[in-house]
């Protein structure tokens, strides 16, 4: 069947190229929008108790995760008293309170616990209103509204963290492409000994990735896709696109060297190397599609994006690439680099470095296997210290503002200040929570929670002020 496909692709090569070119032309203007179409979160699941508690808070209290933390610290060389620091916070936020996109501002004046225990830092929380619009524009307006202050101000919180994830992902992806694409191009030229042959796999892989990114933008209109699926799709697409193309191009050149016509070389390459590509891609897709069984957006979107880019990589390798080879024919070896081209020819004849290495491994399998196993186990040792969990600002570089603010909160207040564990109490009889007998039970429960060695502080409706007794709360 694949042999017949190769013959058909040879005869209709220009039509196939035109279809792929049209798809690429449509995808290129859309693909760059993928950064803003994806979701930075996606680690919640309706099956999780924490998710249900968050939903309950949102329904009953209008709880909004779009809260910003402004951390105020002593400027270099100056030590402000806690009272002075609190005053600096108040004066800097005077205009922020008037912004229409700001719903609430809480400072140390309203909550004294927002002064660090060491007295060297303070923070204010700014909650954006539901109609604040795009956080990307609301946050800069808030920063512009801050009045000058002696203290150093650092902005953090979920909205800034998510924005920084977008910015860092985009920056790092471009940096990775600037490094990996030239390195892959050099490696392909070294393998094939020809600039044309080396460029073809890159064209195929790049086409598959560009169309995948455009399709991800369209998919994001119907379902949530995680920003973390972007790197997976890009790197997997480039890797598989180049890898699959390398198989087929190598076989095509071998067939030409054996004296086959271009048509039969295309057909045999598609039938042999193409078969390996087809089964390899199917296996990878099955593994990635298994992620769709998880009810967690981040994992499902990785499975969706990964399977999509694998599918397009296989389609490009089995249709676009044979059409390109049919057009190039013997010109696949054009712009050859003398010594490299000769080495590539020897490799194709079974006399090159890789053939000799394969024969060595087959002659001494145990001597090769044992040291390689030791090396692989050594490389895997760091995995023993892996920590699983939802990402927070600690995944960002230390020079990013939201990460710096996160570190300041963690240093001056402890680990849970920015991401505390929330406990939601709900009555089952429809009666108010703050009845005398329930207040006493809540107070007793809070005392038991506070006694845990893993708990640094408990804030609750019955512990707002330690001077007030549970009876007075009721």
- CATH number of the domain where residue 90 is located: 3.30.70.1430
Q: Tokens in use for 302?
A: 């990785």
- Distance of alpha carbon 423 from alpha carbon 442, whole angstroms: 11
pLDDT at 465: 63
- DSSP string of 173-226, one letter each residue: HHHHHHHHHHHHHHHHHHHHSBHHHHHHHHHHHHHHHHHHHHHHHHHTTTS--B
Q: Is residue 406 part of a domain?
A: no
Q: Is residue 420 part of a domain?
A: no
The pLDDT tens digits for 304-343 are 989 999 999 999 999 999 999 998 888 877 756 655 545 5
- Distance of alpha carbon 116 from alpha carbon 110, whole angstroms: 14
Q: Tokens in use for 209?
A: 């990735």
Whether residue 321 is found in the same domain as residue 198: yes
> What does the buried/exposed string (b/e) look like for 44-54 if buried means 16 or more CB atoms within 10 Å of the residue's CB?
beeeeeeeebb
Q: Is residue 364 part of a domain?
A: no
Whether residue 184 is found in the same domain as residue 321: yes
The pLDDT tens digits for 254-270 are 888 888 888 888 888 88
- Confidence category of residue 351, pLDDT binned at 50, 70, 90: low
pLDDT at 197: 78
Whether residue 217 is found in the same domain as residue 291: yes
Whether residue 130 is found in the same domain as residue 187: no
pLDDT at 45: 67
pLDDT at residue 65 tops 60: no
Parallel, antiparallel or unpaired: strands 67-73 and 152-157 = antiparallel
Whether residue 144 is found in the same domain as residue 189: no
Boundary-marking domain end, from 329, 344, 362: 329
pLDDT at residue 184 tops 90: no
The pLDDT tens digits for 440-462 are 788 888 888 888 888 877 877 77
- Confidence category of residue 173, pLDDT binned at 50, 70, 90: confident
Parallel, antiparallel or unpaired: strands 67-73 and 102-106 = unpaired
The pLDDT tens digits for 295-305 are 777 888 889 98
Give the Cα-Cα-Cα angle 144, 145, 149 (nearest 5 degrees): 95
Boundary-marking domain end, from 161, 188, 209: 161
Q: Is residue 213 part of a domain?
A: yes
Average pLDDT value over all residues in the chain: 82
Beta partners for residue 104, in sequence order: 127
Number of structural domains, the chain? 3
Q: Is residue 366 part of a domain?
A: no
Q: Is residue 414 part of a domain?
A: no
Whether residue 319 is found in the same domain as residue 279: yes
Whether residue 130 is found in the same domain as residue 89: yes
Whether residue 209 is found in the same domain as residue 322: yes
pLDDT at residue 345 tops 60: no
Task: Print the domain residue range for 467.
Answer: 425-473
Whether residue 88 is found in the same domain as residue 35: no
Q: Tokens in use for 229?
A: 């699926």
The pLDDT tens digits for 106-120 are 888 888 888 888 888
- Confidence category of residue 366, pLDDT binned at 50, 70, 90: very high
Whether residue 131 is found in the same domain as residue 266: no
pLDDT at 57: 73
pLDDT at 146: 86
Q: Is residue 208 part of a domain?
A: yes
Share of the chain above pLDDT 70, in %: 87
Helix-strand-coil split of the chain, %, nearest 5:
65, 5, 25
Whether residue 299 is found in the same domain as residue 268: yes
Lowest mean pLDDT among 5-9, 186-190, 207-211: 186-190
Q: Is residue 377 part of a domain?
A: no
Read off the CATH number of the domain in which 289 is found: 1.20.1640.10
Whether residue 152 is found in the same domain as residue 224: no
Boundary-marking domain end, from 329, 356, 385: 329
């Amino acid at each position: 069947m694949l042999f017949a496909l190769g013959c058909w692709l040879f005869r209709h090569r220009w039509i196939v190229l035109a279809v792929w070119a049209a798809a690429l032309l449509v995808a290129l203007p859309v693909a760059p929008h993928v950064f803003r179409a994806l979701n930075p979160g996606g680690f919640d699941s309706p099956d999780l108790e924490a998710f249900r508690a968050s939903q309950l808070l949102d329904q009953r209290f209008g709880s909004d995760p779009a809260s910003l933390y402004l951390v105020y610290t002593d400027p270099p060389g100056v030590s402000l008293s806690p009272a002075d620091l609190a005053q600096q916070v108040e004066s800097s936020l005077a205009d922020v309170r008037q912004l229409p996109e700001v719903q609430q501002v809480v400072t140390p004046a309203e909550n004294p616990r927002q002064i660090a225990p060491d007295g060297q830092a303070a923070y204010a929380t700014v909650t954006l209103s539901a109609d604040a619009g795009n956080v990307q524009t609301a946050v800069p307006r808030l920063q512009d509204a801050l009045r000058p202050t002696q203290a150093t101000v650092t902005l953090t919180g979920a909205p800034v963290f998510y924005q920084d994830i977008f910015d860092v992902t985009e920056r790092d992806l471009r940096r990775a492409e600037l490094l990996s694409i030239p390195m892959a191009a050099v490696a392909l030229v070294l393998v094939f000994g020809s600039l044309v042959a080396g460029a073809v796999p890159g064209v195929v892989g790049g086409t598959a990735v560009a169309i995948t990114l455009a399709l991800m933008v369209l998919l994001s209109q119907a379902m949530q896709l995680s920003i973390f699926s972007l790197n997976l799709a890009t790197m997997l697409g480039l890797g598989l696109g180049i890898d699959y193309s390398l198989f087929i191009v190598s076989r095509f050149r071998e067939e030409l060297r054996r004296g086959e016509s271009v048509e039969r070389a295309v057909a045999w390459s598609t039938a042999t190397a193409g078969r390996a590509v087809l089964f390899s891609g199917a296996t990878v897709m099955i593994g990635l599609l298994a992620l769709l069984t998880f009810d967690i957006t981040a994992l499902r979107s990785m499975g969706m994006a990964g399977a999509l880019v694998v599918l397009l990589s296989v389609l490009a390798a089995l249709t676009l690439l044979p059409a390109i080879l049919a057009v190039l024919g013997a010109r696949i070896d054009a712009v050859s680099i003398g010594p490299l081209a000769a080495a590539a020819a020897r490799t194709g004849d079974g006399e090159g470095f890789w053939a000799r290495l394969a024969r060595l491994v087959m002659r001494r399998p145990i001597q090769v296997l044992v040291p390689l196993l030791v090396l692989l186990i050594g490389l895997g040792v760091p995995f023993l210290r892996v920590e699983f969990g939802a990402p927070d600002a600690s995944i960002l570089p230390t020079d990013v503002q939201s990460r710096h603010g996160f570190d300041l909160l963690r240093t001056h207040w402890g680990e849970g200040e920015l991401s505390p564990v929330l406990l939601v109490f709900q009555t089952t009889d429809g009666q108010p929570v703050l009845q005398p007998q329930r207040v006493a039970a809540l107070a007793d429960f809070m005392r038991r929670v506070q006694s845990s060695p893993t708990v640094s502080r408990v804030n609750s409706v019955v512990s707002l002020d330690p001077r007030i007794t549970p009876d007075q709360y009721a």
